[in-house]
Amino acid sequence: MAQLVGVFEDPGKVAEVVGHLRGRGFEDLETYSPAPFAEVDDAVLEKPSRVRIFTLIGGLLGVVAGYAMTIWMANDWQIMLGGKPYSSIPPYTIIAFELTILFGGLLTALGLFIVGRLPRFTRDAAYSARFSAEDFGVAVRCAERDVAEVDGLMRMHGAVEVNLVAG
Amino acid sequence: MTPPPAASVAAMIRPAPIPDDSKINQDILYVMKGTSPGYWLLLSIALTFVGIGAAVWLWQIYEGLGIAGYIHPVFWGVYIVTFVFWIGIAHAGTLISAILYLFRAKWRNAINRSAEAMTVFAVMTAGLFLGIHVGRIWKAYFILPYPNQRGLWVNFKSPLLWDTVAVSTYATISIVFLYVGLIPDLAIARDRHSGWRRVLYGILALGWQGTSRNWKSHTRSVLHLSGLATPLVLSVHSVVSWDFAMTLVPGWHSTIFGPYFVAGAIFSGFAMVLTLMIPVRRIYGLENYITDYHLDNMARFLLFTSIIVGYAYVFEYFIAWYSGVEHEQTSFWMRTFGAYWFSTWVMIVCNAILPQLLWFKRLRTNVPFLFVLSVLINIGMWFERYVIIVEGLSTEHDPSAWGVYTVSWPEIGILAGSFAFFVTLFLIFLKLFPIIAIAEIKELAIHAKLHPEGGH
């Protein structure tokens, strides 16, 4: 197996080349972008990020925890305050609301780590500091006999340069 | 033609020359490089005042709250005033990051990082005052619902408990928001530093490479965090206002307190962003990033929130008169012409009258004017909380129980220490982390480079 990395300047071109490469059956590819561009990310991964499931679970956990904690604690040792019922829903809604946000936010961050595969302890061989400047990279793993085709395809779509990655 | 084997292709390709780094990276990372004597001077002044504040606090812990200016019936003074002030300052960050993000207001990109950092530091500063105000700091944890031998739980029907939950949630979510936004920029910094900084940014960047999977989950997380933080911003200062509005104290017991406090918080927060960022942009030559256009937009926000705040001031008086309740009427009369007339007029002039000058475009883009105005608004907003809290308590229902509170020197020492604490944290942040969200600026810059004819 060989790995080629093409350097691009235009995110639109990156999306095109990714589409073309995948059409030709090169599925083992990765892009590197200096900033978020939906067209690039959607070309590689079609489905919406699963982070949203984490947010939903976090929010639901929060609202349940908020009501459960307040109602249970108020009834564990009942003290009459201001003539109000022990299980007073209106004031406990404030706690439940805040915990919804708290758990939702924390699980969203957890979702970012799990779905986004972070933390990562090594850098890809194809990664370079220029992809945190203003260049885009498309790294493709292919059989050695396909190197010329992938190289030509990337240049056809406006690659500034195409390099073979060592290792 | 048969393709050559990979190894020989690799030999044919000459090693890629290291490309010139992006100008955006260079400009913004420049802020983190080196420290001038002026920076050290400012930092040492700030640290001195932090020391003074800390010493006064230790003295107060030893001596008791008696050294504060409390006098019956005013037992909420400068500490609570300053707590509310800092919580208010903290609101601009999340407003800019979350609400303007959801509204797709692209101009926020230049200021969102500094505002988010400011939010975290302001909440941290505000948090100190909960400890300072309760006096017996060693019992501060009583506010938390923890299992204990007495079998007692906290009272979740109390606004003070709501406040604890709201403010700690706000602090946590602000930190998460700031950090998540920082990850791509930390990777940029990692790739461009060596030594201890490379190690630090390498750890904090979590191996970020800007892959499609990285970015896809990142943009989705930022969207969701914004969606969660938007109602949070509106709730936090509403909950803080209920600390007052849920009581029966004249001048406090009011239904407009929620929106009134939230608008005031955003107003003061924007003023603080201007106070901090005008010198930063001047000193580090960031005029290409924080342009007059951004200042103009922030000035418009100031004007808008100033009108809401001014409207609330007028309506407080109107409702006090229209209610026919003597206690309310007296409280507002005493507020304007009684012992605290000075604070009240500072608040009205700085918050409601002077910002009206921002109707003039020439003044909205006049940087020295904006700086002075933003400082005056900060002062005015501190006095607003002073007026509401101290005056409210000083003239409650029974005239025989009235009393006049004056600020004591220890309180001023701790107040100054809190500003110094905030400034110290901001100065350290300035040298350790990118003060402008580089990746977000690049997103706009790359669009602009490829489509110079317009749009965004």
Contacts of A62 (CB under 8 A, 6+ apart): A96, A99, A100, A101, A102, A103, A104
CATH code, B35-134+153-450: 1.20.1630.10
Identify whether residues A85 and A30 lie together within a single domain: no
Question: B153 near A74, Cβ under 8 Å?
Answer: yes
- What whole-number distance in Å separates Cα of residue B242 and Cα of residue B252? 9
Q: Which of residues 4-23 of A touch B (CB under 8 A)?
A: 7, 10-12
Identify whether residues A95 and A111 lie together within a single domain: yes
Residues of chain A with C-beta less than 8 angstroms from the C-beta of B215: 33, 36-37, 40-41
The CATH number of residue A37's host domain is 3.30.70
At residue B1, the pLDDT reads 42
At residue B17, the pLDDT reads 43
Whether A61 is covered by a domain: the verdict is: yes
Find the domain containing A98 and state its range. Answer: 51-115
Closest-approach residue (CA) in chain A for B191? A129
Q: Which helix (H) or strand (E) holds B273?
A: helix B257-283
The CA-atom distances, in angstroms, between B82 and each of B173, B378, B384 are 22, 11, 11
Measured in degrees and rounded to the nearest 5, phi and psi for residue A3 equal -125, 125
Q: Tens of pLDDT along A20-67?
A: 999 999 999 999 999 999 999 999 998 889 999 999 999 999 999 999
At residue B94, the pLDDT reads 84
Could you tell me if A122 lies within 8 Å of chain B, comparing CB atoms? Answer: yes
- What whole-number distance in Å separates Cα of residue B256 and Cα of residue B347? 18
DSSP-assigned letter for residue B331: H
Out of B6, B176, B192, closest to residue A147 by CB = B6
Residues of chain B with C-beta less than 8 angstroms from the C-beta of A106: 172, 176
Closest CA to A100 of A53, A65, A54: A65
- What whole-number distance in Å separates Cα of residue B436 and Cα of residue A130? 20
Question: How far apart are the CA of A73 and the nearest CA of chain B, in angstroms?
Answer: 6
State the amino acid at position B320 in one-letter form: A
Whether A22 is covered by a domain: the verdict is: yes
Question: How far apart are the CA of B245 and the nearest CA of chain A, in angstroms?
Answer: 14
Judge whether residue B456 has pLDDT over 50: no
Q: Which of residues 427-456 of B touch A (CB under 8 A)?
A: 439-440, 442-443, 445-446, 450
Whether A120 is covered by a domain: the verdict is: no
Residues of chain B with C-beta less than 8 angstroms from the C-beta of A128: 16
Contacts of B345 (CB under 8 A, 6+ apart): B336
Residues of chain A with C-beta less than 8 angstroms from the C-beta of B172: 102, 105-106
3-state DSSP call for residue A141?
strand
Residues of chain A with C-beta less than 8 angstroms from the C-beta of B157: 81-82, 84, 88, 91
Task: Give the number of A-B residue pairs with CB atoms closer than 8 Å.
Answer: 218
Identify whether residues A24 and A42 lie together within a single domain: yes
Q: Tens of pLDDT along B174-221?
A: 999 999 999 999 999 999 988 999 999 999 999 999 999 999 999 999
Best of B106, B158, B217 to substitute, by most chain A Cβ atoms within 10 angstroms, is B217
Identify whether residues A11 and A22 lie together within a single domain: yes
Q: Which of residues 146-175 of B touch A (CB under 8 A)?
A: 151-157, 161-162, 165-166, 169, 172-173
Judge whether residue B305 has pLDDT over 90: yes
Could you tell me if A69 lies within 8 Å of chain B, comparing CB atoms? Answer: yes
Domain count of the fold of chain A: 2
Question: How far apart are the CA of A163 and the nearest CA of chain B, in angstroms?
Answer: 7
Question: How far apart are the CA of B441 and the nearest CA of chain A, in angstroms?
Answer: 9
Percent above pLDDT 70 for chain B: 95
Whether A153 is covered by a domain: the verdict is: yes
Closest-approach residue (CA) in chain B for A125? B209
Q: Tens of pLDDT along B369-387?
A: 999 999 999 999 999 999 9
**What is chain B's alpha carbon radius of gyration, rounded to the nearest angstrom?**
25
Judge whether residue B8 has pLDDT over 60: no
- Asked if A36 lies within 8 A of B229 by C-beta distance, the reply is no
DSSP-assigned letter for residue B246: T
- What whole-number distance in Å separates Cα of residue B191 and Cα of residue A38? 24
- Asked if B165 lies within 8 A of A95 by C-beta distance, the reply is yes
Identify whether residues A104 and A89 lie together within a single domain: yes
Identify whether residues A55 and A110 lie together within a single domain: yes
Closest-approach residue (CA) in chain B for A120? B207
Question: How far apart are the CA of B9 and the nearest CA of chain A, in angstroms?
Answer: 7
DSSP-assigned letter for residue A32: E
Q: Tens of pLDDT along B244-282?
A: 999 999 999 999 999 999 999 999 999 999 999 999 999
Number of Cβ atoms within 10 Å of the Cβ of A20: 15
Q: Which helix (H) or strand (E) holds B314?
A: helix B292-323
ipTM of the complex in this document: 0.94
Contacts of B283 (CB under 8 A, 6+ apart): none
Number of Cβ atoms within 10 Å of the Cβ of B439: 25
The residue that leads in pLDDT, B456 or B276, is B276
Identify whether residues A34 and A7 lie together within a single domain: yes
Domain map (residue ranges) of chain B: 35-134+153-450
- What whole-number distance in Å separates Cα of residue B167 and Cα of residue B165? 6
Write down the mean pLDDT value for chain B: 90
Mean pLDDT value across residues A4-15: 93
Closest-approach residue (CA) in chain B for A39? B212
Q: Tens of pLDDT along B98-107?
A: 888 888 888 8
Could you tell me if A153 lies within 8 Å of chain B, comparing CB atoms? Answer: no
Question: How far apart are the CA of B320 and the nearest CA of chain A, in angstroms?
Answer: 27
CA dihedral B407, B413, B414, B416 (to 10 degrees): 100
A136-142 and A29-32 strand pairing: antiparallel
- Asked if B3 lies within 8 A of A148 by C-beta distance, the reply is yes
Q: Which of residues 73-132 of B touch A (CB under 8 A)?
A: none
Could you tell me if A97 lies within 8 Å of chain B, comparing CB atoms? Answer: yes
Tally of residues, chain A? 167
Percent above pLDDT 70 for chain A: 99
- Asked if B224 lies within 8 A of A73 by C-beta distance, the reply is no
Question: B298 near B367, Cβ under 8 Å?
Answer: no
